[in-house]
Amino acid sequence: MTRVLFHKEIESLEDDVLVLGSMAEKALLDAIEALRDGDQQWSQKIIDDDQRINAKRFEIEEKCIFVIASQQPMATDLRSLVSMLFIITDLERIADHAEGIARINMMLADEPLPRRLGLLTSMADRAVAMLRDSLKAYTERDADEARRICEADDEVDRLQDRIYEEVTKSMIADPSTIERNTYLLWTSHNLERIADRCTNICERVIYMVTGEMEEINVSSY
């Protein structure tokens, strides 16, 4: 009976991780939409909601620590709980990067609409896909899929490089665009960091399944 209750606690915690993941994903999707639409009120809501995401992360963390202390899990169960602590940290940081994009939108308040985001849209789509896929690999305990997802980080890095090149050329051609383009570079940096956080999650999935630490977040292009 004690063992059954212990595994129910772990299942409940895993559900909480997915809730946190959905909150982070929503923050990211909303931040990009608000940036594209120039919606200041929407961005402010994203900024305000970040406190809820932080609180959810701390709630899960406290539960994890309590289970580890009270149940003294071993082997796979311990790896699952320890991995969970790292994963929720990365999810909370993903939401922080989404908040950063929301703040950038606030700084672009005077820019005329509609906004042209160019390759930032593709970059955001890939970051969102990596987040969804990494959480799916987590729930399915799929180490092979986790490794495959990490490879997508190279594509995000390539897009960031292209954005940097295009923005730099634009700044040189028209110095009046320097401020706006600087904000777009900050946005691309936030998206690149989100992709890196997804890679971190996948590394923890691999550890959880295999017991082996693998550093996969190394650019290969």
Which pLDDT belongs to residue 73? 85
User: Rounded distance, CA 147 to CA 214, Å?
Assistant: 10
pLDDT at residue 72, as a whole number: 84
Determine if residue 129 is left, alpha or beta; phi over 0 gives left, psi from -120 to 50 gives alpha, anything else beta. alpha
Fold entry, domain 2-210:
Methane Monooxygenase Hydroxylase; Chain G, domain 1 (1.20.58)
Average pLDDT for runs of 10 along the chain of length 221: 79 96 98 94 97 97 94 88 97 98 91 80 96 97 95 93 93 91 94 97 95 71 43
Let me know: does 164 contact 188? Beta carbons within 8 Å. yes
Please give the pLDDT value at position 34. 95
Give the tokens for residue 51: 């406190």
Give the per-residue pLDDT at 117. Answer: 86
What does the alpha-carbon distance between residue 140 and residue 68 come to, in Å, rounded to a whole number?
Answer: 22
**Radius of gyration of the CA atoms of the chain, in A:** 19
Question: In this predicted structure, what is the pLDDT of residue 221?
Answer: 43
- Please name the amino acid found at residue 125: D
Tell me how far apart the alpha carbons of residues 182 and 188 are, in angstroms, rounded to a whole number: 10
Which sequence spans correspond to the domains of the chain?
2-210
